[in-house]
């Protein structure tokens, strides 16, 4: 019916929508979030909204100030680059584990992802945009899930929940997308062949490429 998303519960819907609003910058860093406003906006009551906000708070995306409201967390450039380093450490470790433990179904999912990515990158002009972001998320989520480690999965989710991950894509040109696809291909091949060391460095290479894109994103010394 609606968006084919897994919007089975109001809480899930609230979480996804609010998260997206923050990702896309419609809710700006530092901005105060009023529970009743959000509820009205999403057609929900405060209860699921608050639960979603608690979750986002636990992920470091928003901040509860007791009795004084909820605010979108700000992230400065230094923090962000650190996060990329952490992400590289976590995800490369995931890739190593995945190379050891992944099953054929997960492999199939990765292949399907890569296939669609290739199609997107093959386009002459248009920016793949949000679709590519989703594919990228699915690809990485599949690898993390293949580790079978739920705690690790939770950690990575928290890292990739950053607004900036997608903003990194925003300024990608066609060449950047092609490179991204190629890197995903390498990662898949490494995992498929069970080469743990290769999978690890292929993933690290991929993440740090994204990091570099963010570094160059805004050269100005904006406060």
Partner DNA sequence: GAAAGCCATGTTGTATACCATTTGATGACG
Partner DNA sequence: CGTCATCAAATGGTATACAACATGGCTTTC
Contacting positions for DNA (CB under 7 A): 9-11, 32-36, 44-48, 50-51, 64, 66-70
Q: Which is nearer to its own copies, 92 or 180 (CB)?
A: 92
Handedness of CA 149, 143, 171, 31 (dihedral sign): negative
* DSSP assignments along 95-131, one per residue: HHHHHHH--HHHHHHHHHHHHHHHHHHHSSSS--THH
Query: Is there binding between residue 93 and its own copies (CB under 8 A)?
Result: yes
Asked if residue 190 binds its own copies (CB under 8 A), the reply is no
In terms of Cα–Cα distance, which of 135, 146, 204 is closest to 169?
135
| 5: contact with its own copies by CB under 8 A | no
Structure tokens at 72: 């979108």
The tokens 């450039």 sit on which residue? 77
Residue 47 beta carbon to DNA: minimum distance, rounded to whole angstroms: 4
Closest-CA residue to 84 (of 180, 196, 164, 172): 164
* Residue 35 binds to its own copies (criterion: CB under 8 A): no
Tell whether residue 100 is a contact of its own copies (CB under 8 A). Answer: no
- Residue 40 binding partner per list DNA, its own copies, none, with a CB distance cut-off of 5 to 8 Å that depends on partner kind: none
Binding site for its own copies (CB under 8 A): 8-9, 11, 47, 50-51, 54-55, 57-60, 63, 66, 73, 75, 78-79, 82-83, 85-86, 89-90, 93, 97, 147-155, 158-159, 162
């Amino acid at each position: 019916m609606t968006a084919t998303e897994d919007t089975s519960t109001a809480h899930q819907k609230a979480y996804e929508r609010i998260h997206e609003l923050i990702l896309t910058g419609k809710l700006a860093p530092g901005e105060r979030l009023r529970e009743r406003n959000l509820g009205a906006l999403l057609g929900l009551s405060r209860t699921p909204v608050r639960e979603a906000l608690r979750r986002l708070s636990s992920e470091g995306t928003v901040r509860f100030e007791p009795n004084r409201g909820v605010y979108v967390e700000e992230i400065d450039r230094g923090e962000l680059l650190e996060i990329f380093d952490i992400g590289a450490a976590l995800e490369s470790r995931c890739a190593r584990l995945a190379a050891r433990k992944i099953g054929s179904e997960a492999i199939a999912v990765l292949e399907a992802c890569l296939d669609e990515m290739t199609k997107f990158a093959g386009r002459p002009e248009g920016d793949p945009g949000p679709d590519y972001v989703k594919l990228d998320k699915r690809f990485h989520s599949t690898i993390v899930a293949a580790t079978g480690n739920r705690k690790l999965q939770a950690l990575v989710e928290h890292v990739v929940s950053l607004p900036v991950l997608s903003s990194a894509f925003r300024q990608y040109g066609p060449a950047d997308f092609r490179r991204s696809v190629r890197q995903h291909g390498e990662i898949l091949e490494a995992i498929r062949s069970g080469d743990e060391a290769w999978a690890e460095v292929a993933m690290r290479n991929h993440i740090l490429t994204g990091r570099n894109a963010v570094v160059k994103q805004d050269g100005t010394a904006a406060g």
